[in-house]
A and B are shown apart, each in its own frame.
Chain A
Amino acid sequence: MKARVHVTLKNGVLDPQGKAIGHSLNRLGFPEVDDVRQGKFIELELAETDAAKARARVEEMCKKLLANTVIENYSIELVG
Chain B
Amino acid sequence: MKAAVLVFPGSNREGDVAQAIELVTGRRPQMVWHGDGDFEKVDLIVVPGGFSYGDYLRCGAMAAQSPVMAEVKKRAAQGVPVLGICNGFQIVTEAGLLPGTLMRNSHLKFVCADVHLRVETSQSLFTNRYQAGQVIKVPVAHAEGNYFADADTMKRLEDRGQIAFRYCGPDGSIVDGRGNPNGSSSNIAGVFNDTKTVLGLMPHPENAVEPMFGGTDGKALFEGMVEALS
Interface footprint category on B: 10 to 19
Is B57 among interface residues, defined by CB-CB distance under 8 A? yes
- Return chain B residues, CB-CB under 8 Å to A66: 57
Complexed CA–CA distance, A19 and B62 (Å): 27
Complexed CA–CA distance, A71 and B58 (Å): 12
Report whether B104 and A16 are in contact in the complex, using a CB–CB cutoff of 8 Å.
yes
**Contact digits for A52-74, partner B, Cβ 8 Å, 1 yes 0 no:** 00000000000011101011000
Count of chain A residues with a beta carbon within 8 Å of a chain B beta carbon: 11
**Contact digits for A1-20, partner B, Cβ 8 Å, 1 yes 0 no:** 00000000000011011001
Q: Contact partner of A70 among B100, B107, B108, CB < 8 A?
A: B100
Report whether A65 and B108 are in contact in the complex, using a CB–CB cutoff of 8 Å.
no
**Minimum CB–CB distance for A70 against chain B, Å:** 5
- Return chain A residues, CB-CB under 8 Å to B58: 68
- Return chain B residues, CB-CB under 8 Å to A65: 57, 61-62, 65
Q: Contact partner of B61 among A13, A17, A68, CB < 8 A?
A: A68
Closest-by-CB residue of A relative to B153 is A70
Interface set, chain B 15-44, CB cutoff 8 A to A:
none
Report whether A64 and B148 are in contact in the complex, using a CB–CB cutoff of 8 Å.
no
**Minimum CB–CB distance for B168 against chain A, Å:** 21
Contact residues of A with B, CB < 8 Å? Answer: 13-14, 16-17, 20, 64-66, 68, 70-71
Contact residues of B with A, CB < 8 Å? Answer: 57-58, 61-62, 65, 94, 100-101, 103-108, 148-150, 183
Query: Can you name 20 extra interface pairs (CB under 8 A) apart from A14-B103, A70-B100?
Result: A13-B103, A13-B148, A14-B106, A14-B183, A16-B105, A16-B107, A16-B108, A16-B183, A17-B108, A20-B108, A64-B65, A65-B57, A65-B61, A65-B65, A68-B61, A70-B101, A70-B148, A70-B149, A70-B150, A71-B148
